[in-house]
């Protein structure tokens, strides 16, 4: 069988073969968490004894008993690790994301378990220290969220505003914003691009005016005058991200509360920014094992 065309390091068959037991899952998590050998999470000692049960360790220095999951997002989870691994795989593999309802059916767990699981994985995907975009950067805003009965298509009162920036051929940054005024948009652009970004391309929305300077040119296409592309000037990449966003919310999530929208955006960003990464599954596991626990109460408060 020719598997050369599949650039992804993981597929559903490999997943079932390699990670069908608690033990095989724990082993890869330990390798990712402690690449230089077992280390006590409390005192960093490397003098570790195996405890009575095979998944527990004892620190010889401070006496701390721990497992590979201690202090991580997997901590205190009653869900079997192979189910976690399937969930992680489905979330990184699916272009449009996967709803809690779909996860519930696929894993045969309760809705609450599925919802909490999806949120913990999503939370780990967020990039705490994203690099600044450079080169040619496209910026645009879009509206997502509920229709209000009796209001026309153009009514935006019940919708959230999302601003996005994409570096041509590179990464995307997405964020929920309170308004699409000049101050907010300029701040978003300044916080997400290098000062000497070559060019910023937007549509004709006046709030973008003045974002260029001596080493950053600003050009816009006039969408209201049916101008979409002028030479190299267009916002097609960021609009490609909007189409992913809208297909995911309409197709899988149906309804996204504004409260959790930023987390969904992080998930979309993670998948988009890793679209060429053949080790996406492993890298997502790595983020999860290095993420702190996210209690259910924190999510729901
Ligand atoms: Zn210790």
Cα dihedral 292→91→17→3 (10° resolution): -130
CB atoms inside a 10 Å sphere around CB 154: 6
Longest dimension (CA), the chain: 73
**What's the confidence (pLDDT) of residue 149?**
55
Q: Give the H/E segment covering residue 175.
A: strand 172-177
38 CA to centre of ligand 1 in angstroms: 11
208 CA to centre of ligand 1 in angstroms: 54
**What's the confidence (pLDDT) of residue 296?**
87
Of the CA atoms within 13 Å of residue 91, those in its CB half-sphere come to: 34
**What's the confidence (pLDDT) of residue 153?**
52
106 CA to centre of ligand 1 in angstroms: 39
58 CA to centre of ligand 1 in angstroms: 8
Distances (CA, A) of 50 to 12, 37, 46, 55, 269: 32, 13, 12, 8, 40
46 CA to centre of ligand 1 in angstroms: 8
297 CA to centre of ligand 1 in angstroms: 29
Order the strands of the 57-59 sheet from edge to edge: 48-50, 57-59, 65-66
7 CA to centre of ligand 1 in angstroms: 41
> pLDDT tens digits for 37-53?
999 999 999 999 887 66
Q: Which long-range contacts (CB under 8 A, 24 or more apart) does 120-124 make?
A: 120/73, 120/288, 120/291, 120/294, 121/87, 121/88, 121/91, 121/284, 121/288, 122/91, 122/263, 122/264, 122/266, 122/267, 123/73, 123/263, 123/266, 123/291, 123/294, 124/73, 124/284, 124/287, 124/288, 124/291
61 CA to centre of ligand 1 in angstroms: 5
Q: What is the CA radius of gyration of the chain?
A: 22
Question: Is residue 143 helix, strand or coil?
Answer: strand
The Cα 91–Cα 121 span in angstroms is: 8
238 CA to centre of ligand 1 in angstroms: 48
71 CA to centre of ligand 1 in angstroms: 13
pTM of the predicted protein model = 0.88
66 CA to centre of ligand 1 in angstroms: 9
Closest to 280 measured CA to CA, from 10, 51, 5, 2: 10
Report residues of the chain scoring pLDDT below 70.
Answer: 1-6, 52-53, 146-158, 250-256
121 CA to centre of ligand 1 in angstroms: 28
59 CA to centre of ligand 1 in angstroms: 5
68 CA to centre of ligand 1 in angstroms: 14
φ/ψ of 252, rounded to 5, equals: -115, -45
54 CA to centre of ligand 1 in angstroms: 18
47 CA to centre of ligand 1 in angstroms: 8
290 CA to centre of ligand 1 in angstroms: 18
The Cα 225–Cα 43 span in angstroms is: 64
SS3 content of the chain, % helix, strand, coil (to 5): 40, 15, 45
Question: Is residue 200 helix, strand or coil?
Answer: strand
Residues in the chain, overall count: 301
**What's the confidence (pLDDT) of residue 97?**
85
> pLDDT tens digits for 220-262?
999 888 888 988 999 999 999 999 998 887 655 556 677 788 8
**What's the confidence (pLDDT) of residue 77?**
80
**What's the confidence (pLDDT) of residue 1?**
42
CB atoms inside a 10 Å sphere around CB 84: 23
49 CA to centre of ligand 1 in angstroms: 11
34 CA to centre of ligand 1 in angstroms: 14
The Cα 36–Cα 48 span in angstroms is: 13
């Amino acid at each position: 069988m020719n598997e050369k065309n599949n650039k992804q390091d993981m597929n559903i068959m490999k997943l079932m073969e390699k990670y069908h037991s608690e033990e095989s899952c724990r082993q890869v998590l330990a390798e990712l968490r402690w690449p230089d050998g077992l280390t006590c999470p409390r005192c960093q000692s490397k003098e570790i004894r195996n405890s009575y049960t095979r998944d527990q360790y004892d620190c010889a220095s401070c006496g701390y008993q721990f497992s590979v999951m201690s202090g991580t997002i997997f901590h205190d989870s009653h869900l079997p690790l192979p189910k976690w691994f399937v969930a992680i795989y489905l979330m990184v593999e699916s272009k449009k994301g996967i709803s809690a309802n779909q996860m519930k059916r696929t894993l045969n767990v309760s809705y609450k378990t599925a919802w909490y699981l999806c949120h913990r994985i999503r939370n780990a995907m967020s990039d705490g220290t994203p690099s600044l975009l450079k080169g040619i950067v496209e910026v645009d805003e879009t509206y997502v969220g509920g229709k209000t009965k009796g209001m026309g298509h153009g009514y935006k009162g019940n919708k959230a505003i999302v601003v996005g920036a994409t570096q041509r051929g590179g990464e995307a940054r997405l964020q929920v914003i309170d308004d699409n005024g000049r101050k907010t948009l300029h701040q978003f652009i300044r916080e997400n691009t290098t000062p000497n970004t070559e060019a910023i391309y937007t549509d004709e929305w006046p709030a973008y005016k003045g974002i260029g300077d001596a080493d950053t040119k600003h050009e816009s296409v006039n969408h209201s005058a049916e101008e979409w592309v002028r030479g190299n000037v267009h916002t097609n990449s960021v609009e490609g991200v909007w189409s992913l966003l809208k297909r995911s919310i309409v197709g899988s999530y149906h309804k996204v509360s504004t409260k959790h929208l930023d987390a969904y955006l992080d998930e979309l960003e993670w998948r988009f920014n890793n679209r060429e990464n053949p080790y996406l599954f492993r890298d997502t596991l790595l983020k999860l094992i290095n993420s702190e626990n996210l209690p259910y109460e924190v999510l729901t408060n």
